[in-house]
Amino acid sequence: MRGSRTAVRRPSRARARGATIAAFAVLAATVPAAAGAAGTREVDTELPYVCAFPSGQRPATVRISAAFPDRVAAGEPIRPADVTTTVTFPAEAVADLAATGAAEVRAGTRLTVAVAQHDATAEATWRGTAQPVALAPSGPLTLTATGDVPTVTGRSAGELTLSAADLAVDLALDTADGSAADPAARTVTCALAEDAADHGLLAAVPVGPDPGGTDGSPSASPSPSDAPERQDGGEPADRQRERAPRVGGDAPGGTAARPDAPPCRYDARYPAGPMSLNAYITGYANVRKLKGAALIPLTCTLIEQGEPEFEFYPDFSGGTITQRSTGDLYNGGRTWSPPFEATFLTFGFTPTTATMVLEQTGPLTIDSLGATDYVFTSTDTYVRVPLVLRVTSLTVNGTPLDVGPSCRTEKPLASPEPDPAHHPGDHLVLHGRGEQVTGEPATGYLLLSGGPLTGEVSIPAFTGCGAGGENLDRLLTASVSGPGNYVKQTQGQTCYVAADVPNPDECTTDLQPLRIPVPER
């Protein structure tokens, strides 16, 4: 017999904890806070860049504004606030985009920021998301992106500098009727122009007490561990790493700060429902032919849970619980992963670097079946989603090759399907199994704790790759396509956004997932 759905409803938080989630597919941004008590200074810098478009290298202007603390103590995070990255492309670049049939552009920016203190260095990624902009038939295009950025911490006294470096602009292209252009996505890579003033310097923040004592602290000289160590042979590499500025880390008060990651929140394009969840997922996908693995970056997934259905055993010694939920990858309003880069040795000796995007082309479904005797419960979850692999840029042995605007697998990735009669067609299948004894922590894949999802996938042949009469389909197909590619994705803790009082251990104050999963091989 079947139990009544209304009879098995639980309080809203319990429903979230008992629901199933999954996704397919690098780090989440710390939420900027007010800068240090010593005061802040605003930076507004305009820099020249050179960007690669199908028609050639084009100049671009990048304006970066942010607020930095006047001074911080050693070990105190520097928290850039009000960060805005404004990119202006010239008319020639706009013509390249208009040729795709696009009428609207949505963009995400990934600015590499070089961090240095003494002789030690590190890198941070400043991510931003721009509002949709109409694509005019002529004239320049300006995209203004904002977003949270990671903290940077100087480990010793001495000036810490932040300088703009490489920039990637991920473009989502829509036609006038709202459908995706061809291609639907393009990554524009940009390098700082050689004549950029001060080599792209954005800010120089003093770390340590004010030598003049204006901060109320006695002046002090750097300790031997603070001072740069220079010897005839230079400083040992391990010592440099120890002193390198730290990107991310702990926020004030001991609260764990989130590392750099894409936004993951419901919005006007995708409003939250009464059973809505969000979570990050990340992991690796093997490329068997190349004897390597590609890291799939943190990807936001928005899930609408289905109602659970109970069926009791005839002797009422237990029963089964089934649930179907649906969801979408979500990145700047589109159903795809953030761009990711992978480098392999093609044919065993040629270094090849590709920038790719996984694009969802159909419904993402999550089917769970649990069995319980009221003490022990085991649950199997199957995630199914059709994904096309797009290549947006390619470099072989250091030489860029123009893959054109439509380089993709000719059909979705395909996994062995355990139930083909009910789930026809090509799609990725990931499986997770979770077990729990009442009153004890769960193991494996369950919503509350996250966990691993694994599968195997065949990569189809590529099509539409190349430009200017050069066909790269066979190169990519011979290098990458084929069966038997193992996939392992790790889902993080979910945030139940529809709860009356969202759990602060699971959600940020703006209802994004707090917990960030770590990819596992």
- List the structure tokens of 211: 């030598």
Rounded CA separation 285/480 (Å): 12
Give the CA radius of gyration of the chain: 25
% pLDDT > 70, the chain: 80
pLDDT at 348: 56
Whether the predicted pLDDT of 431 surpasses 80: yes
Spell out a b/e string for 10-39, using b for 16 or more CB atoms within 10 Å of the CB, else e: eeebebbbbbbbbbbbbbbbbbbeebbeee
Q: What is the pLDDT of residues 272-324, one digit of tens each?
A: 988 899 999 999 898 887 777 888 989 999 998 888 888 888 888 889 988 88
What mean pLDDT do residues 449-468 have? 90
Give DSSP secondary structure letters for 65-82. EEEEES-B-TTPEE--EE
Q: What is the pLDDT of residues 379-408, one digit of tens each?
A: 999 999 999 999 998 888 878 888 888 999
pLDDT at 248: 57
What mean pLDDT do residues 328-338 have? 88
Q: What pLDDT band is residue 101 in, cutting at 50, 70 and 90?
A: confident
pLDDT at 132: 83
pLDDT at 182: 67
Rounded CA separation 353/225 (Å): 39
Distances in Å between the alpha carbon of 243 and those of 79, 81, 381?
19, 25, 45
Q: What pLDDT band is residue 253 in, cutting at 50, 70 and 90?
A: very low
Rounded CA separation 195/121 (Å): 22
What mean pLDDT do residues 487-516 have? 88
pLDDT at 345: 64
What mean pLDDT do residues 158-168 have? 93
Whether the predicted pLDDT of 467 surpasses 70: yes
- Between β-strands 451-459 and 482-491, what pairing exists: parallel, antiparallel or unpaired? antiparallel
% pLDDT > 90, the chain: 33
Whether the predicted pLDDT of 221 surpasses 60: no
Whether the predicted pLDDT of 343 surpasses 90: no
Q: What pLDDT band is residue 234 in, cutting at 50, 70 and 90?
A: very low
Q: What is the pLDDT of residues 37-96, one digit of tens each?
A: 347 889 999 999 999 988 889 999 999 999 999 999 888 888 888 899 999 999 988 888
Tell me the whole-structure pTM to 2 decimals.
0.57
Handedness of CA 272, 80, 127, 445 (dihedral sign): negative
Burial tier of 396 (Cβ tally within 10 Å: 0-12, 13-18, 19+): middle
pLDDT at 244: 66
Q: What pLDDT band is residue 136 in, cutting at 50, 70 and 90?
A: confident
3-state secondary structure of 14: helix
Burial tier of 448 (Cβ tally within 10 Å: 0-12, 13-18, 19+): middle
Could you list the beta-strand ranges (E) of 240-375: 246-247, 276-287, 292-304, 309-312, 319-329, 340-346, 350-360, 364-372
Contacts of 195 (CB under 8 A, 6+ apart): 48
What mean pLDDT do residues 343-367 have? 81
Within 13 Å and on the Cβ side, how many CA atoms surround 221?
Answer: 3
pLDDT at 448: 61
pLDDT top residue among 50 and 443: 50
What mean pLDDT do residues 454-479 have? 90
Residue 141 near residue 93 (C-beta atoms within 8 A): yes
pLDDT at 511: 92
Whether the predicted pLDDT of 233 surpasses 80: no
For the chain, what is the mean pLDDT? 79
Contacts of 393 (CB under 8 A, 6+ apart): 52, 187, 189, 354, 355, 400, 403
pLDDT top residue among 209 and 277: 277
CATH of domain 40-213: 2.60.40
Rounded CA separation 5/385 (Å): 27
pLDDT at 180: 63
Q: What pLDDT band is residue 162 in, cutting at 50, 70 and 90?
A: very high
Q: Where are the domains of the chain?
A: 6-27+261-496, 40-213
What mean pLDDT do residues 154-161 have? 87
Whether the predicted pLDDT of 21 surpasses 80: no
pLDDT top residue among 347 and 147: 147
Q: What is the pLDDT of residues 177-195, one digit of tens each?
A: 766 666 767 788 999 999 8
Residue 278 near residue 512 (C-beta atoms within 8 A): yes
pLDDT at 432: 93
Rounded CA separation 197/31 (Å): 30
